[in-house]
Structure 1
């Protein structure tokens, strides 16, 4: 699926040019684009038309070319402000992976990259400066939570891992979601033990996401399982009464049928609950097969 197609599906009220060259930047800037389009979508609620013509990287900066018509002056200013903010943010976010980055020069090619991607297939980048990009620009990345919450490459590498994670949306009214999963490298919980995080502050925009920042710390995100499959794995692992071994799938294997048989024979999970888990799993698999066929 192309970048433009994915954005069009998320923002159906906005217009997008479908030409192959309409989008030419790496996925690390997806979050910036989502934030800009969300602001544009809100501004367009009063009426008019909006069309994204091109999204590209030029001299290390994100450039979003768009047109509007029949748009109220306040809405036009709001979109222009969102555009300036998106461009400012792009100078501080790695275009490749979405972590904190800096503008670097690769033999004449300018690109914003994190420390990991500053030395890779493009060669070794040279950071041309330290300090603000524009002395007259009041934008501060440290004051912008969208940028400040993103990890550096070093922070990411040192973060504990949550495997088999799931976002828990339920909670008190107005409360933020958190994650459940099996933890590795977290000081206050044994490796392979199941638990939950504090509320989510920010989650990686990449698909699939690779990190999440909560109220307490940064985590790397490991294996993700669809909800129904994960529930089956959770109960099999819980009944085994032992932690998950690092690198091993929760439940001990990838044979879901064998796991369902185990749950039925264990006598420790009500048959109606196992039936419900199996039905949800079958429906989940049918949905994936249908989506695969349409793709």
Structure 2
């Protein structure tokens, strides 16, 4: 498996150019890598040079090889500590999907996978508990980065949010939250539009598949770019009915028909609909960095 990371100026002090980084591991470890790069970039802001040599999976764990020059000893120790933390975390996070995982033996091939991926492309694996990082004791339940990730069972039983969108700040709380159409949420009727409590942690995959809030875990369904989503929101709202499960908000994927419906309803100003239509036509068909939010 090869994971592609696009630096995109996220780590200006690491000397990474704009070319995508080809990394020999699964995308389930994307969050571990971003956490390492973020910490290393913070340390390197004081000066010196950082050279990334190799990143990949080896004997089940995430290995990051790098070199530094012109950095203080304590700065080098801080990056080394971040590197060891990345390795320790990788033994508890599924390399395939980013949910909670365990070291698994596939006939001599070691991988860290969840229960769903223990029987898949690598064959049928056997979970085991081994002293993979006994030299560097680590307690995953004390690390919110790992502890907040869902198990397969928790994920499968979580409520679903379709047509979700991030609101960067809720009233009285600087943390972001989500709103969308809910299914299986105990306090919201199926297909009704609502919002979550503030986000605690969000899946690192693009697009993300889950989010944990102050109150519960949610599965994330389809994401619509903002203008398309607003058109769908108003078309659904003016239809005066909840979204049926399995049906897209607005009733179909015919945006032109939705715009025509909004104009015929007489409920929205023509200037508002004109703005929605223009923004929709200028909107990219996909969003590369959807779901990357700041959490505390």
TM-score, normalisation: structure 1: 0.91
| Cα offsets for 1:33-64 (capped at 9, x unmatched) | 00000000100111111121111100001000
Q: CA offset at residue 82 of structure 1?
A: 0.5
Conserved? CA contact 1:184–1:192, under 8 Å: yes
1:166 is matched with which residue? Answer: 165
Distance 1:25 1:166, change over 3 A: same
| Cα offsets for 1:200-233 (capped at 9, x unmatched) | 0000000110000001111100011000100000
1:226 is matched with which residue? Answer: 225
Q: CA RMSD in A?
A: 2.2
| Cα offsets for 1:109-165 (capped at 9, x unmatched) | 0000001001112121112227x6445533100000000000001111111100000
Structure 1 portions without partners, runs of 5+: none
Distance 2:128 2:252 in 1: 50
1:7 is matched with which residue? Answer: 7
1:90 is matched with which residue? Answer: 90
Conserved? CA contact 1:92–1:101, under 8 Å: yes
2:186 is matched with which residue? Answer: 187
Conserved? CA contact 1:92–1:141, under 8 Å: yes
1:213 is matched with which residue? Answer: 212
Distance 1:20 1:201 in 2: 29
Distance 1:26 1:9, change over 3 A: farther
Distance 1:195 1:135, change over 3 A: same
1:178 is matched with which residue? Answer: 177
1:145 is matched with which residue? Answer: 144
How many residues align? The count is 286
TM-score, normalisation: structure 2: 0.90
Segments of 4+ moved more than 2 angstroms: 2-5, 7-13, 15-22, 132-138, 170-174
Between 266-275 and 14-23, the greater mean CA deviation after superposition: 14-23
| Cα offsets for 1:95-115 (capped at 9, x unmatched) | 000000000100000000001
Structure 2 portions without partners, runs of 5+: 289-296
1:267 is matched with which residue? Answer: 266
Conserved? CA contact 1:17–1:52, under 8 Å: no
Distance 1:8 1:48, change over 3 A: farther
Q: CA offset at residue 175 of structure 1?
A: 1.6
Distance 1:178 1:266 in 2: 31
Q: CA offset at residue 7 of structure 1?
A: 3.5
Distance 1:56 1:203, change over 3 A: same
